[in-house]
Amino acid sequence: MDNDRGSIRADFHTHSTASDGTLAPAELIEESARQGLLHVALTDHDTTGGVTEAVEAGKGHGINVIAGIEFSAEVERGELHILGYGIDPEHAGLQERIERLRQLRVSRAERILDRLRELGIDLDPSTIQTEHADDSVGRPHIARALMAAGVVQSVSEGFDRFLGRGKPAFVDKQLVEPSEAIQLIHSAGGLAVVAHPLSLPNPLEVLARLVQHGLDGMECYYGEYDDAQRGALAAMAADLELIPTGGSDYHGPAFREGRDLGAVDIPEDVVRRLLGALGIQTD
Ligand code: AMP
Ligand code: ZN
Ligand code: FE
Ligand code: FE
């Protein structure tokens, strides 16, 4: 194993087929074992549907699986992603909100298919369906269907030509208020963490505001960020007294550069601090 890596290998940002990842939760954990990871948070978009399977698989591989989620929240100039860690997946209030979001994602996917039909692209809706009833459907599923139909050569071409914001088949999805996302995560017993803060045009302003709403942490060690960006974010986390976290945002093999499972070298003290805040013993 690479010597520079922290001795507690962890990845706190991953997706499975319960949302728009391409590996099933158990496959994700098998791959985590191959990568030598000890702690993995499953953070599917708007769903905890993969958590039980991942936790079970983790037991077989000696991997601690953290029950997580990634909410898409609304901010003035776009979308903010908020991760929840250590949540109770059975929490009734959380599940009720998730179920509403799931239904809205299904109707949004139908509207995207309508738009594509108007553009002369007739995708069979059955090719968009997810594996389980509680999975979250997203634009990547439609991009993959466009690929399978030979309309585009890659998922990113699907976003560039049709599905991205401002493109002809773009349809907004339901976003939650950041304060509501934090509150939902807290009510289910979890920690709320802003994901990939550099997606925001004004990260410091938004983070400082969310601290007032009880935000617990921010993702500093992110797959696509370089060392300078990670360092600047870690300094910001220290100033704001937020828990720094890290993860790859893995969506399956060959998704995007920097997004390989376990590829982010999260400093050991950062891993220990987050695990400590989640009540997980490391020694
Ligand atoms: P949705 O939740 O349906 O709005 O889809 C958003 C997801 O699509 C993100 O979490 C990414 O996984 C993926 N995505 C967004 N933009 C792109 C892009 N340009 N190329 C490939 N995947 C993308
Ligand atoms: Zn995604
Ligand atoms: Fe995200
Ligand atoms: Fe993500």
Query: Rounded mean pLDDT of 91-95?
Result: 97
Residues of the chain with pLDDT > 70, as a percent, come to 98
Alpha carbons 187 and 279: distance in angstroms, whole number: 17
* Contact by Cβ (8 Å): 259, 250: yes
Q: Which residue has the tokens 């986390």?
A: 237
Span from the CA of 138 to the centroid of ligand 1 (angstroms):
8
Best residue among 20, 137, 153 to mutate for probing ligand 1's pocket (most ligand atoms within 8 Å of CB) is: 20
Q: Which residue minimizes the CA distance to atom 9 of ligand 1?
A: 140
Report whether pLDDT(128) > 90. Answer: no
**For 218-237, what is the mean pLDDT?**
97
pLDDT for residue 6 is more than 70:
no
Beta pairing class for 64-75 and 39-42 = parallel
Query: Of all protein residues, whose CA lies closest to atom 11 belonging to ligand 1?
Result: 140
Q: For residue 5, what pLDDT is reported?
A: 59
With a cut of 60, say whether residue 1 has pLDDT above it.
no
In the structure, what pLDDT confidence band is assigned to residue 65 with cuts at 50, 70 and 90? very high
CB–CB of 54/35 below 8 Å? Answer: no
- The predicted pLDDT at position 50 comes to 97
Residue nearest to atom 1 of ligand 1 (CA): 138
What's the CA gap between 188 and 90, in Å, rounded? Answer: 8
For ligand 4, the distance from its centroid to the CA atom of residue 70, given in whole angstroms, is 6
Average the pLDDT over 248-275 and give the result: 93
pLDDT-based confidence at residue 4 (cuts at 50, 70, 90):
low
Residue 39 CA to residue 277 CA, distance in Å, equals 14
Q: How far is the CA of 283 from the centre of ligand 2 (A)?
A: 33
Tell me the average pLDDT across 61-80: 94
pLDDT at 139 over 60: yes
> Closest Cα to atom 18, ligand 1: which residue?
156
**pLDDT attached to residue 74:** 95
Residue-wise pLDDT tens digits, 180-200: 999 999 999 999 999 999 999
Q: Give me the pLDDT at residue 3, please.
A: 43
Ion ligand 2 residue ranges (Cβ < 5 Å): 20
CA distance 53 to 48: 10
- Residue of 280, 263, 258 whose CA lies nearest to 271: 280
Residue 59 Cα, ligand 1 centroid: separation in angstroms? 31
Using CA positions, which residue lies closest to atom 22 of ligand 1?
156
Q: Once rounded to an integer, what is the mean pLDDT over residues 240-266?
A: 93
* Confidence check: pLDDT of 214 > 80: yes
**Residue 68, ligand 1, Cβ within 6 A:** no
Residues, CB within 5 angstroms of ligand 3 (ion):
81, 195
Residue 136's pLDDT band (cuts 50, 70, 90): very high
pTM for this predicted structure: 0.95
Lowest mean pLDDT among 123-132, 142-151, 153-162: 123-132
Residue 247 parent element (H or E):
strand 243-247
H helix runs in the chain, sequence order = 25-34, 51-61, 92-118, 139-148, 155-158, 178-187, 203-211, 227-240, 268-277
Give residue 258's pLDDT band: very low, low, confident or very high (50, 70, 90): confident
Average pLDDT over residues 239-267: 93
SS3 215: coil
Q: Residue range 203-208: average pLDDT?
A: 97
Reported as a single tens digit per residue, the pLDDT across 26-51 is 999 999 999 999 999 999 999 999 99
- Ligand 1 pocket mutation pick from 80, 135, 136, 139 by most atoms within 8 angstroms of CB: 139
